[in-house]
Amino acid sequence: MTCPVKFSVQGRSGAARAGTLELARGVVKTPVFMPVGTQGAIRTLSPLHLADTGSQIILANTYHLHQRPGEDLVAKHGGLHQMMNVDLPILTDSGGFQVFSLQKKTVEEDGVTFTYEVDGQRTFLSPEISMDIQQKLGADIAMVFDECLAYGTDKAYAEASVARTTRWETRSKQAHTRPDQSLFGIIQGGFWPDLRKRSAEEIQAIGFDGYAIGGLSVGEGYEVMCEVLDYTVPHMSAEHPRYLMGVGRPLDLVEGVARGIDMFDCVIQTRHARSGVMYTWPGRIRVTDSRFKRDMYPVDTSCSCYTCRNFTRAYLHHLFRVGEVLGATLATIHNLSWFAQFMAAMRQSLIEGRFEAFRAQVHETYPEKAAPPAKPKAAAKPQAAGKRTKKPRKPRS
């Protein structure tokens, strides 16, 4: 028996919706982006700074935590929240995506045998084992164990995989007994409308607290992703939260929301930050570029994050140039904060009936075929009336 999730909608624009997801550890306002803490931590970021980013819910990975440090040690801490010292709700991925991205694996009805890429250890993962691990990790939301299909998989294999995923998700629900942890189902089906429809119907017939779309962000590209959403989301329950797994560019987020998605996760926000790539309302910048060497503006003049309140582009440029880890930390704080603000602004546009204008602005600022980022101008975010633009900072003595 799973823990019911209370989900309600406060605003709509076509299929897009602004909602509220009530969990035991807090209320999550949707649409929402979830930062990824794969190994039980947001890389380069302490929990103190995580709290300042405005993030509402984070993700950790079952596969990696099972390998290191092991779910029993996490349980000994009292679960992920206590071990990480994080009060936010946590969602754990089942490990299916990581397992099926490996080259050396054997898929059978019972589960998957694979070679751990770090030390070569042979490991077996099944729906029952994945549920046992996630219940010991103690996340607020657990994900079922499914088979993620690679882009280019032939339809005959995809048909057999959809049937196997339905059986695995049935077993996942049967093995999931923790009453204070919600369980989300995952819809697969590759890149065929009939298989996506079939998977959606079969997984929803099992009955879960929310439903995710898996098997995207596997190399198919933006246009194909949108097509799959177009013929999948209409078959998903409107009464439950909908989660698009592994997607997180600004354009992907706004187009996912336009098609009815409520929840997203991705690693690019933190991965890009560690190389000095930062997101702003006027567009993406690379703070390591030489033009920022003496730039006394904050990263984004419309951003209220800790980094933008206290530091200049010139300082971040310096930190990256000398290899100081603080640069990655400050960039990560900014990117996570900016995406939290981005999703909040999108939500507000839905509530106020401005979503299509917001969507158009995102297409203009973050187009699919984007040229290399030009020198950013000090500009306000879309429809952000009343925001004060910061003046250039003077050098400190």
Q: Which residue type is seen at 217?
A: S
Alpha carbon distance 124, 160 (integer Å): 21
Q: Which residue, 281, 282, 262, is CA-closest to 347?
A: 262
Residues 144-183: b if buried by 16+ CB within 10 A, e if exposed: bbbbbbeeebeeeebbebbebbbebbbbbbebbebeebbb
Find how far residue 105's CA is from the centre of its chain.
26
93, 252, 262, 295: which is the annotated catalytic residue? 93
Give 359's DSSP letter.
H
Residue 154 bears catalytic tag:
no
Alpha carbon distance 193, 229 (integer Å): 10
209, 265, 295, 300: which is the annotated catalytic residue? 265
Residue 93 bears catalytic tag:
yes
Helix runs in 215-295, H state only: 222-232, 250-258, 268-273
C-alpha distances out from residue 139 to 21, 79, 88, 103, 131, Å = 15, 8, 10, 29, 11
- Phi and psi at 99, nearest 5°, equal -60, -45
- Phi and psi at 71, nearest 5°, equal -65, -30
Spatial neighbors of 312 by CB under 8 A, at least 6 apart, are: 295, 296, 297, 298, 393
Active site residues: 93, 265
